[in-house]
Amino acid sequence: MTNASEVLSSIQSAFPGAVLDSRVESDSRLWATIDSKKILDVCKYMTAKLNFDHYSGSAGVDWIARKEMEVVEIMASHGAHQVVAMLKVKTPRDNPSVKSMTGLYWNAGWYEREIWEMLGINFEGHPELYPLLLSDPLVGAWPWRKDYKGYPDLTTGERAVAITTSEGYTEYTFPPTPAEIEAGTVVTEHPKYPTFREREEREIKSDSEMIMHLGPQHAMVPGPFLLDILVEGERVKKAFLDVGYIHKGIEKIMENRTWLQGITYTDRMCYVASLSNNECYCGAVEKILGLEVPERAQYIRVILEELSRIQSHLIGTGEFLTLIAGVGFAPWQYMIMDREKVISLIESVTGARLTHTFVRFGGVRNDLPEGFADQCRKVLPYMKSRTEEFIELFAQDPIYHARMENIGSISAETAKRMGCAGRVLRAAGVAYDMRREDPILVYPELDFDIVTGTRGDSADRIDCTLREILQSIRIIEQCLDKIPSGPIRTEVKIPKKIPAGEAYYRVEDPRGEMGMYVISDGGDKPYRVKVRGPFYATFQTLTPLLEGVYIADAVAIAGSMDGCPSESDR
């Protein structure tokens, strides 16, 4: 088994002088500052020699006091070892520019586009450095820089000026006032790039092709995003994805709220998985503080997170089934009904149906209510029998197999290379689960299997999801047997100002690997919170999967990923 210090010494011996600064936090966390000239070589070496085949994303940090910016590359491995290497690359703040990873890792594209549009860090060699989440007028304002002054309030509409376009539509623009230009709150110089529409229209090669919009408002989308498909007849030739329709800027908001207030914002990232999001944020802060969570609190967290996984899987599967069967499909209603039982269980503990804000630094908000274990033991066998029934139902259905088998299939190699997460990755046959890879809480003491598929197609994804529910039930049953009595919150008083430090914490969200990179500068607010969303990672793979399929299959593929654009956009 490789550990972090071995990785570090291996890099140091291969590239003398490349590691400017390093810190081995634990066996599985390595923090290193790499010379920006050598970062590509180091990453190439790590992937080839040290099994770091999982590029897990990157984060940009604006260190305004030090007059420099930092790009943190998060490198991990798909099961070969458990080390997560956080490689930092520094660049001057005046003209920030680092080398792009897109040549090495396919999935680096989106992460770098986001850093570029938010912080203005240029990526040399990125083939399509277009904005991802922001709308065009905001590009150039670099809103996540620490000296960003805010954008003028345009919501009143009083300042809108109507312009008639050449096609006869009316569009509204907001010309800046001289005072705003003076204050520097408006963007006067926009970077030049082709817009989304120009990019997709230049792909139209003949008259028989047309672009169809699936979204942002469409019966297919689980939340607002724009999926444009270039079709010829019934065949999809190319797909274009535009996200950012539900971009809430949660990472930036959290920088302006106290540490405790931040928990409520993690709820809103994905409301069907809010407990995992809570856990991820609180876990990262606990790591900075070096807190030990009492055992009872750990069990309570595990129980609730697994319950929330069950309900998330049920609604994700049910919603997807309506996409290929129509809204009148009865099993969808049955799934919602069953989910209601689970939600009531969670509600009896947290007091809320979806946005719980239940996890606290060093514990949980309140203890389990009287009789919760009995209620759970009543519901779980029922859920188990129902889930088995669903699995059997779909296994028998010939139309289900005709629609889903070999649709959108990804091989294990491709899934790893594209950095997919969660069910998409596991359906392809890669047993990669954060509960095993980066064990937190009491997961190491629990007995459960990681469900994997073989073909990696839509049918496998649904099958994996349903079988994961059975595993979650197993976990909860064990927890109910083992849960000790004791305090539910640590006795250490949580300070208002968290000491300076940084942590990267990973949990297994219902949609896959979720990570949060939290930096504290010793203040009462986080300096930077970077969320590595699981659906964000999977979402990128959608467009290549859609090439050459039928329109109906495009829906079957997009739906089978159990999307949550809200979490992807943050």
Partner 1 sequence: MDGIIEIITQFVAQEPAIFALIIGIIGALVLSAVVNVGAMLVIWADRKVMSDFCNRFGPNRVGGRWGILQLGADAIKLFTKEDVIPAGVDKGVYVWAPIIASAGTMLVAAAIPFGALHIGGKDYPLVVANMDISAFYVEAALSIMSIAVFMAGYSSNNKYSILGGFRGVARMIAYEVPMGVCVISVAVMAHSLNLVEIVQSQTIWYAFAQPLGFIIFIIALVTDLGRVPFDQSEAEEEIICGYSTEYSGIRWGLLYFQEYNNFLLGSILMSLLFLGGWNGPIIPIPLLDIISPMIWLLMKVIIVIWFIILIRASLFRLRIDQVTDLGWKWMLPLSLVNLGWAVIIGSYFA
| CA dist., res. 175 & res. 9, Å (int) | 56
| Shortest reach from residue 238's CB to partner 1, in Å | 16
Residues making up the chain, counted from first to last: 570
- Size of interface with partner 1, in residues (CB under 8 A): 32
| Shortest reach from residue 559's CB to partner 1, in Å | 8
Specify the amino acid at residue 85: A
| Shortest reach from residue 376's CB to partner 1, in Å | 23
Question: 278, 267 in Cβ contact below 8 A?
Answer: yes
492 is a contact residue toward partner 1 (CB under 8 A): no
CA-closest candidate to residue 298, choices 496, 444, 506? 444
234 is a contact residue toward partner 1 (CB under 8 A): yes
552 is a contact residue toward partner 1 (CB under 8 A): yes
Specify the stretch interacting with partner 1 by CB under 8 A; choose among 239-247, 261-269, 353-361, 392-400: 392-400
Specify the stretch interacting with partner 1 by CB under 8 A; choose among 217-225, 347-355, 441-449, 528-536: 217-225
User: Cβ contacts of residue 192 below 8 Å, gap of 6+?
Assistant: none
| Shortest reach from residue 326's CB to partner 1, in Å | 5
| Shortest reach from residue 103's CB to partner 1, in Å | 37
Contact with partner 1 (CB under 8 A): which of 330, 444, 481, 491?
Answer: 330
465-503: burial string, b at 16+ Cβ within 10 Å, e else: bbbbbbbbbbbbbbbbeebeeeebbbeeebeeebeebbb
Q: What is the largest CA-CA distance in the chain?
A: 71
| CA dist., res. 515 & res. 522, Å (int) | 22
Taking the least distance from each CB to partner 1, the nearer of 326 and 548 is 326
Question: 240, 228 in Cβ contact below 8 A?
Answer: yes
| Shortest reach from residue 329's CB to partner 1, in Å | 7
Contact with partner 1 (CB under 8 A): which of 15, 45, 106, 329?
Answer: 329
220 is a contact residue toward partner 1 (CB under 8 A): yes
403 is a contact residue toward partner 1 (CB under 8 A): yes
> What are the structure tokens assigned to 317, written together?
């599967």
Question: 345, 375 in Cβ contact below 8 A?
Answer: yes
328 is a contact residue toward partner 1 (CB under 8 A): yes
201 is a contact residue toward partner 1 (CB under 8 A): no
Specify the stretch interacting with partner 1 by CB under 8 A; choose among 171-179, 197-205, 329-337, 341-349: 329-337
200 is a contact residue toward partner 1 (CB under 8 A): no
Distance (Å) of CA 167 to CA 164, 170, 392 = 8, 9, 53
> What are the structure tokens assigned to 79, written together?
């099961």
> What burial class does residue 319 get, using C-beta atoms within 10 Å of its C-beta: 0-12 exposed, 13-18 middle, 19+ buried?
middle
| Region for residue 230 given its phi and psi (left: phi exceeds 0; alpha: psi -120 to 50; beta: otherwise) | beta
271 is a contact residue toward partner 1 (CB under 8 A): no
400 is a contact residue toward partner 1 (CB under 8 A): yes
162 is a contact residue toward partner 1 (CB under 8 A): no
User: Cβ contacts of residue 37 below 8 Å, gap of 6+?
Assistant: none
212 is a contact residue toward partner 1 (CB under 8 A): yes
| Shortest reach from residue 242's CB to partner 1, in Å | 17
| Shortest reach from residue 28's CB to partner 1, in Å | 42
Taking the least distance from each CB to partner 1, the nearer of 174 and 329 is 329
| Shortest reach from residue 453's CB to partner 1, in Å | 19
Contact with partner 1 (CB under 8 A): which of 53, 242, 509, 553?
Answer: 553
| Shortest reach from residue 233's CB to partner 1, in Å | 8
In the DSSP assignment, the letter for residue 486 is: S
Task: Give the x-and-dash track for 287-326 against partner 1 (CB under 8 A).
Answer: ----------------------------------xxxxxx
Inter-residue long-range contacts of 110-116, CB under 8 Å, 24+ positions, other chains counted: 110/536, 110/539, 110/540, 111/57, 111/58, 112/58, 115/58, 115/59, 115/60, 115/71
Residues that bind partner 1 (CB under 8 A): 210, 212, 218-220, 233-234, 321-330, 332-334, 337, 397, 399-400, 402-403, 550-555
